[in-house]
Structure 1
């Protein structure tokens, strides 16, 4: 399982040792507002960790816990996974952060690192991201990453704004 590092964060594959921090994140109604529309129960978070561990074992990528290097706390989570959890679809990038870490550049920092992993390690040709159209904060992170708006599509049982970036666009931004 791949650990990634940024200037301020360590991205560790989600495991049972991250349960408390992930549950604190996923049980916050404001964090989950645009993701599932409801806070997670402890069982939801445990189930998520179990699914993620299986995906790491199967594919070599999935969800990471974002750990603040300064204090060791989990401040968020993010993923590279197949859109709609279907291997026939392109890779998707996603993230969520604790409320007290919003508007500090952590999502963009982690997204840049995860996108690098997708394009440079996994050699994906296309990376997509989806969000609730009202989630302007997440849309801004997608745009800062260099993704282009593709349109509205239905994913995860909701209408979403879809952004994308191909490998050529990624490489052009790295120069």
Structure 2
């Protein structure tokens, strides 16, 4: 399993040792406002960890926990997965952060590193990201990654705004 690093974060594959930090993250109503619309239960967090570990074994990628270098605290999570959890669909990138870390550039920092992994290691031809149409902050991160808004689609039983970027466009931004 691949550990990724940025200037301020260590992205570790989600594992049972991250349960408490993920439980706090996923139980936060502000974090879940545009994702599930309600806080996640402790049982749902435990089930998510087990599900994600299975995806790591199956695909070699899935969800990472964002560990802040300075504090060692779990401050967020993000993923490279397939839209709709179906390998026939394009790769999806996603993230969530504790509200205490919003506005610090962590989402963009982690997303850039995960996108580089998707394009460099997985050789993904493109990446998509989805968000609730009213989630302006997440859409800003998508635009900072160079993603373009391709419109409204239905994914994960929700109507969402979809952004995407191709490998060549992402590579051009890194030069």
| TM band (smaller chain) | over 0.9
Partner residue, 1:61: 61
Spell out the pairing of 1:1-175 with structure 2 (5 A cutoff): 1-175=1-175
Provide, for residues 84-132 of structure 1, a one-character-per-residue CA deviation record: whole Å limited to 9, x for no partner: 1000100000000000000000000000000000001100001000000
How far the C-alpha of 1:174 sits from its partner, in A, is 1.0
Aligned equivalents of 2:42 and 2:5: distance in 1? Answer: 28
Aligned equivalents of 1:174 and 1:161: distance in 2? Answer: 25
RMSD: 0.4
Aligned equivalents of 2:112 and 2:170: distance in 1? Answer: 10
Unaligned runs of 5+ in 2: none
Aligned equivalents of 1:53 and 1:158: distance in 2? Answer: 24
Aligned equivalents of 1:99 and 1:171: distance in 2? Answer: 31
Aligned equivalents of 1:126 and 1:68: distance in 2? Answer: 28
How far the C-alpha of 1:156 sits from its partner, in A, is 0.9
How far the C-alpha of 1:48 sits from its partner, in A, is 0.4
How far the C-alpha of 1:14 sits from its partner, in A, is 0.2
TM-score by length of 2: 0.99
TM-score by length of 1: 0.99
Runs of 4+ with >6 A deviation? none
How far the C-alpha of 1:45 sits from its partner, in A, is 0.2
**How many residue pairs end up in the alignment?**
175
